[in-house]
């Protein structure tokens, strides 16, 4: 285990920095910037059983200190991912976390069973918290019993580590995280976006065709930090933090609060090398202080 290495369930990551789902394509689009295999891992765009076109435009807009998106889980579908994307990622030695989405438990299971047939998938991340789709999504994520059921069903059909991604809109997010832990989750990832809106006052028109969108970016970070702190204090499985990470200091904040790893999302749109910068920054931080990342986890608690 190196200075930066962490363990999440049975999975060893070379460093605690991943890219967040939906903010890094399928990981193949960033070749011009750096070797993606240097990251702890990438989370794919949410994969569904069948390809999805997503919502009509406009689907994204900028806000102060963040952005709104209502992509609606546009993706190539699990079959095309396994055929066209995964082999390249596997060959390049990228640690791939398959983020998956479905509107029924049966489809969550079917996607997982398809992924089971492949090598090169390191873990499955269940998106039970998307705010931009009419069925499934956040309705699963708000309900501890439903989240537990989805987790249990996926757990029962795979040996892959199962991560479950929390919605900040769950009333009692700690109860949801605990239900997922009891159902066999290997890690909790937190958080997904929070629903927001924006109006173009010149045109007197909503900026997003979907009316609302998921809010992400730097302004989300204090909320995510509070939630990660609460969940890390309540479960004994690792917590992976997401929400407004764009610098090494941001990542450190989450690690000190008890996260075992972080995911970099919206920051990739402003700086495609953001996640790599965080890895390099963490390495420098740990070398200067002669500490390991592991020793930092939860040290501010």
Ligand X SMILES: Cc1cc2nc3c(=O)[nH]c(=O)nc-3n(C[C@H](O)[C@H](O)[C@H](O)COP(=O)(O)O)c2cc1C
- Using CB under 6 A, which of the segments 63-71, 177-185, 232-240, 252-260 binds ligand X? 63-71
Nearer to ligand X, 2 or 104 (CB): 104
Contact between 193 and ligand X per CB under 6 A: yes
Which member of 130, 147, 180, 286 is catalytic?
130
Nearer to ligand X, 73 or 237 (CB): 73
Best CA proximity match to 126, nearest among 68, 118, 146: 146
Active site residue 180: no
Contact between 192 and ligand X per CB under 6 A: yes
- Using CB under 6 A, which of the segments 66-74, 152-160, 201-209, 289-297 binds ligand X? 66-74
Contact between 242 and ligand X per CB under 6 A: yes
Contact between 265 and ligand X per CB under 6 A: yes
Report 162-191 residues binding ligand X (CB under 6 A).
165
Please name the residue that has the structure tokens 């969550």: 108
Question: 250, 269 in Cβ contact below 8 A?
Answer: no
Question: 220, 243 in Cβ contact below 8 A?
Answer: yes
Question: 190, 235 in Cβ contact below 8 A?
Answer: no
Report 132-151 residues binding ligand X (CB under 6 A).
none
User: Under DSSP, is residue 126 helix (H, G, I), strand (E, B) or coil?
Assistant: strand
Best CA proximity match to 301, nearest among 219, 239, 218, 244: 239
Distance (Å) of CA 123 to CA 1, 120, 136, 227:
20, 9, 21, 23
Nearer to ligand X, 137 or 289 (CB): 137
| Cross-strand bridge partners of residue 96 | 42, 121
Q: Which residue is nearest to ligand X (CB)?
A: 22
* From 4, 13, 17, 23, residue interacting with ligand X (rule: CB under 6 A): 23
Min dist. Cβ of residue 220 to ligand X (A): 5
CA–CA gap between residue 142 and residue 24 (Å, rounded): 26
- Give the torsion sign (CA, 74, 135, 124, 23): positive
Structure tokens at 269: 């749109």
Nearer to ligand X, 148 or 244 (CB): 244
Interface mask (CB under 6 A) for ligand X, residues 71-110, using x and -? Answer: x-x-------------------------x-----------
What are the phi and psi torsion angles at 46 (to 5°)? -55, 125
Nearer to ligand X, 80 or 292 (CB): 80
* From 55, 112, 127, 151, residue interacting with ligand X (rule: CB under 6 A): 127
Structure tokens at 55: 């919502």
Interhelix angle 173-182/144-155, rounded to 10 degrees, is: 30
Min dist. Cβ of residue 171 to ligand X (A): 19
For the annotated catalytic residues, the residue numbers are 130
Q: Site residues (CB under 6 A) for ligand X?
A: 20-23, 45-46, 67, 69, 71, 73, 99, 127, 130, 165, 192-193, 214, 216-217, 220, 242-245, 264-266
């Amino acid at each position: 285990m190196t200075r930066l290495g962490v363990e999440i369930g049975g999975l060893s990551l070379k460093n605690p920095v991943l890219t967040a789902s939906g903010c890094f394509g399928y990981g193949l689009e960033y070749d011009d910037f750096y070797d993606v295999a240097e990251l702890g891992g990438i989370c794919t765009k949410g994969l569904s059983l069948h390809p999805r076109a997503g919502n009509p435009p406009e689907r994204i807009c900028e806000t102060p200190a963040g952005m709104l998106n209502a992509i609606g889980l546009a993706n190539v579908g699990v079959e095309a991912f396994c055929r066209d994307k995964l082999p390249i990622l596997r060959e390049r030695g990228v640690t791939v976390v398959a983020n998956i989405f479905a509107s029924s438990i049966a489809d969550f299971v079917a996607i997982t069973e398809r992924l089971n047939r492949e090598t090169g998938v390191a873990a499955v991340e269940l998106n039970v918290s998307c705010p931009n789709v009419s069925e499934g999504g956040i309705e699963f994520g708000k309900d501890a019993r439903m989240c537990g059921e989805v987790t249990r069903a996926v757990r029962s059909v795979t040996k892959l580590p199962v991560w479950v991604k929390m919605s900040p809109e769950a009333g009692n997010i700690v109860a949801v995280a605990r239900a997922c832990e009891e159902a066999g989750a290997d890690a909790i990832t937190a958080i997904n976006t929070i629903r927001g809106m924006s109006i173009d006052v010149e045109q007197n028109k909503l900026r997003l065709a979907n009316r609302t969108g998921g809010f992400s970016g730097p302004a989300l970070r204090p909320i995510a930090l509070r939630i990660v702190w609460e969940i890390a204090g309540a479960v004994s499985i690792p917590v992976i933090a997401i929400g407004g990470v764009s610098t090494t200091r941001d990542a450190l904040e989450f690690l000190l609060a008890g996260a075992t790893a972080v995911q970099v999302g919206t920051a990739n749109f402003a700086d495609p090398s953001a996640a790599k910068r965080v890895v390099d920054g963490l390495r420098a931080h740990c070398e200067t202080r002669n500490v390991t990342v592991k020793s930092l986890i939860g040290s501010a608690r």
